[in-house]
A and B are shown apart, each in its own frame.
Chain A
Amino acid sequence: MKFLKNRKTAKCITALIILFSILLGAHLSLTKLKEETLSVFYQGENNGEKGIQSDLEYISDQCCNLTVVAGRYMNREEETVKVVSERLEALKKADAPGDKFQAKEDLIKASMGLHEKLNLMNLSEKDRYYCDSFPVNLKSRELIISHSSYNEKAAYYNRCLQRFPANILSRITFVSPLELYE
């Protein structure tokens, strides 16, 4: 224990502690900031508010219901229905916000194609009502998503990562930037 009383040893140990603390502190604080930003995507900004993820789930449900309606009037193996089912699966599998956005865009595009086909068919009153409200429901959800502060917060987080010293520390501590929902 006597060597610990040596000033040179103390300075070396303290320098190592400081270095470790810098890396640990940078990793912990950047990860925390990242998690807080991501939570805006999944849980919304305030308690009780819904995030983009829940809106995407709503859109998925709407599209899934459309395939069920389409199944009543056309073959389930038909290309347009198949494409919507595939896009639904892709959205479910998408992990990053950017991928989710792309998967959602593809899903809506495919669903609108299916919706147009269904519009030309002789539908029951109930199914016609569903088909008519489908684009409105999607639009309203997209409008809600556009008001989310996720992109703003993710952009702020990314800007933090670009500034010194976070730009160096994030690389050393393996903290990656966030994808925007766009």
Chain B
Amino acid sequence: MKITKYKSVIPIYLTGLLWFLYSLMFPLYRLWDYFIVLILSIIIHLSASVISSRLTHKRYQGIDTGDWNLNDVLLTAMDDLEKMRQIKSTIQNEEIRIQLQSFEDDSRQIIEFIRNNPQRYSKASRFFQYYLPETVKLLHNYAEMEIQGQKAESRSAGLQNIEDFLMQLVTIYHKIRDNIYEDKVLESSIDIEVMETMLRQDGYLNDMTPLSLENGGTDEIFKE
């Protein structure tokens, strides 16, 4: 997904409004008239930008990926996490509660990753748009059915169905998380390879075996 750094258009329109109002109220035929209105424009534009940025920051509770749409997605995901936590407190089944903790942990990691790497959103778009909200919906249904089941003192087949599915879903959530990190891992290994090549060229690394493959770390380079 192409991330475009979002900036509010309000400061731009405010600048236009300032020029219009100034033209109605003050003379605009000398050079210093333009100098005054230009200074005022800069002040208005900067002030509006700062205010707008602060309002955005407040609205997204500190989430600022630079894209309002993505901020909305992450904010919704955090709401879903909150709902998950609330549902967890109502569920009696200890196994499901453990699974729920696993969902929560994985989801939190995915949200954090996308928050820090918004350009990777395309890899997780389905997770945010479908998997996570549907999981919450399923858990909500489960919690409701569990309450009804306890009252009736019998477990419905539907309840068992959800339990089975949630078991599978735990593994799937792990896979989704790992899949999102995959690119980052690949990117890191490329970076290591490039650095190794450069170190070799500069004579700091004479061994033919790539460092990344031996003893698993770059710490070896600075041994001496």
Contacts and interface: CB of A to CB of B under 8 A. Distances in A.
Contacts of A24: 20, 23-24
Contacts of B65: none
Contacts of B27: 25, 29, 32-33
Given A13-B16, A165-B29, A22 B23 contact: yes
A33 B7 CA distance: 41
Contact of B22 (A20, A25, A30, A32): A25
Contact of B15 (A4, A7, A14): A14
A154 B33 CA distance: 21
A28 B23 contact: yes
A17 B22 CA distance: 12
Contact of B19 (A11, A22, A169): A22
B30 A163 contact: yes
A21 B30 contact: no
Contacts of A25: 19, 22-24, 26-29, 33
B131 interface: no
Interface string A1-29: 00011110011011001101110111011
Nearest to A160: B29
Nearest to A22: B28
Nearest to A16: B16
A166 interface: yes
A111 to B, nearest CB: 42
B9 A20 contact: no
A164 interface: yes
Contact of B9 (A4, A17, A26, A29): A4
Of B15, B19, B24, B31, most A-chain CB atoms within 10 Å: B19
A122 B103 CA distance: 126
Given A29-B26, A160-B29, A5 B20 contact: no
A7 B24 contact: no
Interface residues of B, number: 20
Of A21, A24, A32, most B-chain CB atoms within 10 Å: A21
Contacts, number: 72
A157 to B, nearest CB: 11
Interface in B1-45: 7, 9, 12-13, 15-17, 19-20, 22-24, 26-31, 33-34
B9 A166 contact: no
A10 B30 contact: no
B20 A166 contact: no
A163 B29 CA distance: 9
A6 B20 CA distance: 21
B23 A21 contact: yes
A16 to B, nearest CB: 8
Interface in B142-186: none
Contacts of A26: 28-29
19 contacts: A4-B9, A7-B7, A10-B9, A14-B12, A14-B13, A14-B15, A14-B16, A20-B20, A21-B28, A22-B23, A22-B28, A24-B23, A25-B19, A25-B27, A26-B29, A29-B26, A160-B29, A164-B31, A165-B31
Can you list the 8 inter-chain pairs with the closest CB atoms, starting with the nearest? A25-B23, A25-B28, A17-B16, A29-B27, A14-B16, A10-B9, A21-B23, A21-B19
Interface of B: 7, 9, 12-13, 15-17, 19-20, 22-24, 26-31, 33-34
Given A14-B13, A14-B15, 20 more contacts: A7-B7, A10-B12, A11-B12, A17-B20, A18-B15, A21-B16, A21-B19, A21-B20, A24-B20, A24-B23, A25-B23, A25-B33, A26-B29, A28-B24, A28-B28, A29-B28, A29-B33, A33-B29, A160-B30, A164-B31
